[in-house]
Amino acid sequence: MLDIKFHGHASVQLTTEGHSIMIDPFISGNPLAATKLDDISVQFILLTHGHIDHILDAVELAKANDATIVATHELATYLGWQGAKTLALNLGGSTTLPFGKVKMTQAFHSSAVVLDDEQKIVYMGMPGGFIIEIGGKTVYHAGDTGLFGDMKLIGDSHDIDLAFLPIGDVFTMGPEDALKAAEWVEADFVVPIHFNTFPPIKQDGDAFVAELAEKDIRGKALKPGESLRLS
């Protein structure tokens, strides 16, 4: 059994049998967030890339929970310098953790920390996504990405129970490409992410789910703070 809680934007918490992990924590800076950072308890934090809307709360959350951050070598090193426990992983690599297995997939995006005061951009390694085996389920979090052909390979290589796919457009796939991605990864259930947080990425999540249904793909557009359970 796997409990899923959507914290808004691309932030997803997966919980099963005493284990809980967070992907891309962006709570304190999210105007739509329905959960306080202090109320979140996790053991591992998975980061898809280094943009602030995916890592903003990672160090604070890691320190508060004595949790380990899993990220690319560059990003893990950068956050480790800030006092967080980290585990480096890179595209195509996998690791076994107490709750199951994590494999990092490719994503087509960018990854950097922007230091506005210094007018400096610090490269944070390649962006990615994750295939996560937890609670007897296989979850695909695509991260921030455009559509790419190897999503077919991801679908062919893994029996995916749940996929989190960005639909916001502008910075990632829009709904049309995300619909194609949903077909390619062949997930049993799809949840759209990375939309409505800010005006440039405003989308109709329910309309996207309706289009999924037309292709016989189950899905749900979760609101920040909403949960679902896979049994």
Give the whole-number percent of the chain exceeding pLDDT 90: 100
Contact call for residues 87 and 112 (beta carbons, < 8 A): no
DSSP 3-state percent helix, strand, coil across the chain (nearest 5):
25, 35, 40
Give yes or no for residue 13 having a pLDDT over 90. yes
State the chain's mean pLDDT as an integer.
97
Nearest of 131, 129, 111, 130 to residue 121 by alpha carbon: 111
Give yes or no for residue 231 having a pLDDT over 90. no
Q: Please compute the mean of the pLDDT values over residues 197-202 and round it to a whole number.
A: 98
pTM score over 0.75: yes
Contact call for residues 153 and 147 (beta carbons, < 8 A): no
| Model pLDDT for residues 148-198, shown as the tens digit of each residue | 999 999 999 999 999 999 999 999 999 999 999 999 999 999 999 999 999
Distance (Å, rounded) from C-alpha 35 to C-alpha 213? Answer: 29
pLDDT score of 217 = 98
Distance (Å, rounded) from C-alpha 4 to C-alpha 14? Answer: 5
User: Where does the pLDDT of residue 89 fall: very low under 50, low under 70, confident under 90, or very high at 90 and above?
Assistant: very high
Please state the CATH superfamily assignment of the domain spanning residues 2-226 in this structure: Ribonuclease Z/Hydroxyacylglutathione hydrolase-like (3.60.15.10)
